[in-house]
Amino acid sequence: MNGPRFAAAATALLLAACSTVPVAQQPGPQPVAAAAPAPAPTYRGPAEEAAAQAVERIRSIDPQLNSVIAIDPTWQEQARRIDAAGVRGPLAGKPVLIKDNIDTLGPLPTTAGSLALANNVTNRDSPLVARLRAAGAIIIGKTNLSEWANIRSSNSISGWSAVGGQTRNPYALDRNTCGSSSGSGAAVAAGLVSMAVGTETDGSITCPAAMNGVVGLKPTLGLIPRTHIVPISESQDTAGPMTATVAEAAAMLTVMAGSDPADPATREADTRKIDYAAALSPDALRGKRIGVLRFATGFGTNEAFDKALETLKAAGAELVEIKEFKGGNFGDAEFQVLLTEFKAGLNDYLKSSPAPLPARTLAEVIAFNQANAAREMPLFGQDIFEMAEKTKGLADPAYRKARADSLRMAGAEGIDRLLKQNNVVALVAPSRPAAWKIDAVHGDVSPGGNGVGSMAAVAGYPHLTVPMGMIRGLPVGISFFGPKWSDSLLLQLGFAYEQARGPLPAPRLLPSIEQSPEIAPALGRQLQPGN
Q: Across the 531 residues of the chain, what is the mean pLDDT of every consecutive 10-residue run?
A: 43 33 39 55 86 98 98 98 94 98 98 98 98 98 98 97 98 98 98 98 98 98 98 98 98 98 98 98 98 95 97 98 94 98 98 98 98 98 98 98 98 98 98 96 84 93 98 97 98 98 97 95 83 61
Q: Which fold has domain 23-29+46-512?
A: Amidase signature (AS) enzymes (3.90.1300)
Q: How far apart are CA 316 and CA 175, in angstroms?
A: 36
Which residues are known to be catalytic?
99, 180, 204
Closest CA to 23 of 13, 39, 35, 14: 35
- Give the CA distances from residue 296 to residues 13, 26, 293, 300, 501, in Å, rounded to whole numbers and listed in that order: 16, 43, 6, 12, 22
Distance (Å, whole) CA 427 – CA 486? 12
Which ranges of 377-510 does DSSP label H, i.e. alpha helix?
383-389, 397-410, 416-421, 454-459, 487-501
Burial of residue 163 (CB within 10 Å: 0-12, 13-18, 19+) is: buried
Angle between helices 46-61 and 75-85 (to 10 degrees): 160
Q: Rounded to an integer, what distance in angstroms lies between the CA atom of residue 403 and that of residue 253?
A: 27
Which of 174, 189, 224 minimizes the C-alpha distance to 435? 174
Identify the bridge partners of residue 320 per DSSP, sorted by sequence position: 291
The whole model's pTM is what? 0.93
How far apart (Å, rounded) are the C-alpha atoms in residues 64 and 170? Answer: 8
pLDDT digits (tens, 9 = 90+) for 49-108: 999 999 999 999 999 999 999 999 999 999 999 999 999 999 999 999 999 999 999 999
